Amino acid sequence: MKKINFYKMSGSGNDFIIIDNRNNIVDENGLSNFIAKVCRRKMAVGADGIILVENTDRADFKWRFFNSDGSVAEMCGNGARCVARFAYLNDIAGSNMSFETLAGLVKAEVIGECVKVKMTDPLELKIDDTIELKNGLVSISSINTGVPHVVIVKDSIDVVDIVKIGREIRYHDQFSPDGTNVNFVCHIKDNAIAIRTYERGVEDETLACGTGAAAGAIVMANKMKLDSPLSVLTRSGGYLNIFFKEKEGQYYDIYLEGDARIIYKAQLWEDAWKDDL
């Protein structure tokens, strides 16, 4: 029976299965089905996504990132921090590294259990746009921080129906055909905000989202004239730190910093992905 070594890692509550695939140990045939199967909670390992570490001539390594439904994502901030620590611990890269993603080259620095990642520069910032939902017009902002995000500012995010509203916006014609992630943010105090995120591909609320934290921080910095860095309280209870520079409304040199925890190292058996009996 085939066995695949992997790490289970968590970045601020966003959990991932990471596989060293430099020797092509993962079968390309039926790959999306394999990913969806092993990401099932209770039936397999369970995760928000899978990261395959592979060879490239452009950087220390390249990744392929997949959401838990098997779909491809261009970028994932929390996944980037986890894969960086994975690469460092497995002698794939030094403590300062770069790796190739569909969103471009990403630079990372491993500092113990903490990782700081330089994100791609954000695109298409729109502040105070509107969207027509079933219950009427809603004020939104949007930005692409490697993947598209909608940001909705609230006085409180504790009682928001994240899944219902998030799913309606995620599949809205305004963001078709690829859809969008949806974030709800509120100001806590000083340079601290809280965030909740509905993630496309997972199709549910996740405990954290790195690109979402960056999106929420930039929108709140713009709307409230907040300076870098911003501390972002995620649903897991942990904080992500977002660093940035701004000039004439343009945001750049975005860094995401937070924990990248190793949960365990193990082997996947075929039982985890074979067809149900």
Q: Taking each helix axis from N to C terminus, what angle separates 210-224 and 77-89, rounded to the nearest 10 degrees?
A: 130
Classify domain 3-113+261-272 by CATH architecture.
Roll (3.10)
What is the Cα–Cα distance from 181 to 210, expressed in whole angstroms? 12
Q: How many residues does the chain have?
A: 277
- pLDDT tens column, 236-260: 999 999 999 999 889 999 999 999 9
Taking the chain (277 residues) in runs of 10, the rounded mean pLDDT of each run is 93 95 94 95 94 98 96 91 98 97 93 93 94 93 95 95 96 93 96 96 92 96 96 94 94 95 96 78
Would you give the DSSP letter of residue 228?
S
Q: What is the reported pLDDT for 75? A: 87
Q: Per residue in 192-232, pLDDT tens?
A: 999 999 999 889 999 999 999 999 999 999 999 999 999 99
Report pLDDT for 276: 63
* Residue 192 identity (one-letter amino acid): A
Catalytic position from the list 39, 76, 82, 186? 76
pTM higher than 0.75, yes or no? Answer: yes
Known catalytic residue at 209? yes
* Domain boundaries, given as residue ranges, for the chain: 3-113+261-272, 123-257
Q: Percent of the chain having pLDDT more than 70?
A: 99
Fold equal for 3-113+261-272 and 123-257: yes
51, two tokens: 């990261």
CA 100, 101, 104, 109 torsion: positive or negative? negative
Q: How does 85-98 read in b/e, with b if 16+ C-beta sit within 10 Å?
A: bbbbeeebbeeebb
Q: How many CB atoms lie within 10 A of CB 224?
A: 12
Q: Which of 50, 70, 61 is nearest to 88 (CA)?
A: 61
Supply the CATH classification number for the domain 123-257: 3.10.310.10
The one catalytic residue in 39, 82, 186, 209 is 209
